[in-house]
Amino acid sequence: MGEFFRGWRRKVGVVSLLIACLFAAGWVRSQHIVDCIFVGHPGRVHHLSSDAFGIWSAYTNYRQTHQGVTTRLLPEFSYRSFEEPLRPISPDFEFSTDHYTARTFCGFYFAVATQNDDSIIEEESTWIIPYWSIVIPLTLLSALLLLSMPGKSNQIKIHQSTKNEDT
Task: Name the CA dihedral angle for 110, 116, 122, 123, rounded to a multiple of 10 degrees.
Answer: 30
**Residue 113 CA to its chain's centroid (Å):** 22
Query: How much is the pLDDT for 141?
Result: 95
CA neighbor of 91 nearest in space, from 72, 76, 110, 73: 110
Q: Is the pLDDT of residue 4 over 80?
A: no
Give backbone dihedrals phi and psi of 71, rounded to 5 degrees, phi first: -95, -25
Ordered alpha helix ranges (H), 41-131: none
Helix (H, G, I), strand (E, B) or coil at 133: helix
Q: Is residue 68 a contact partner of residue 61, using CB atoms and an 8 Å limit?
A: no
Query: How much is the pLDDT for 73?
Result: 47
Which whole number is the average pLDDT over 40-47? 81
Q: Are strands 108-116 and 100-105 parallel, antiparallel or unpaired?
A: antiparallel
Query: What does the pLDDT look like over 12-32, one tens digit per residue?
Result: 999 999 999 999 999 999 988
CA–CA gap between residue 57 and residue 107 (Å, rounded): 14
Q: Rg of the chain over CA atoms, in angstroms?
A: 25
What is the average pLDDT value for the chain, to the nearest integer?
79
Q: Is residue 150 a contact partner of residue 75, using CB atoms and an 8 Å limit?
A: no
Query: What does the pLDDT look like over 44-70, one tens digit per residue?
Result: 888 899 988 899 998 888 776 555 555
Helix (H, G, I), strand (E, B) or coil at 91: coil
Confidence of residue 151 (pLDDT cuts 50, 70, 90): low
Residues 6+ apart with CB under 8 A from 10: 4, 145, 146
| Comparison of pLDDT for 74 and 87, the residue scoring more | 87
Percent residues over pLDDT 90 in the chain: 25
Beta-strand (E) ranges in 65-129?
Answer: 76-83, 100-105, 108-116, 120-129
Query: How much is the pLDDT for 60?
Result: 84
Helix (H, G, I), strand (E, B) or coil at 80: strand
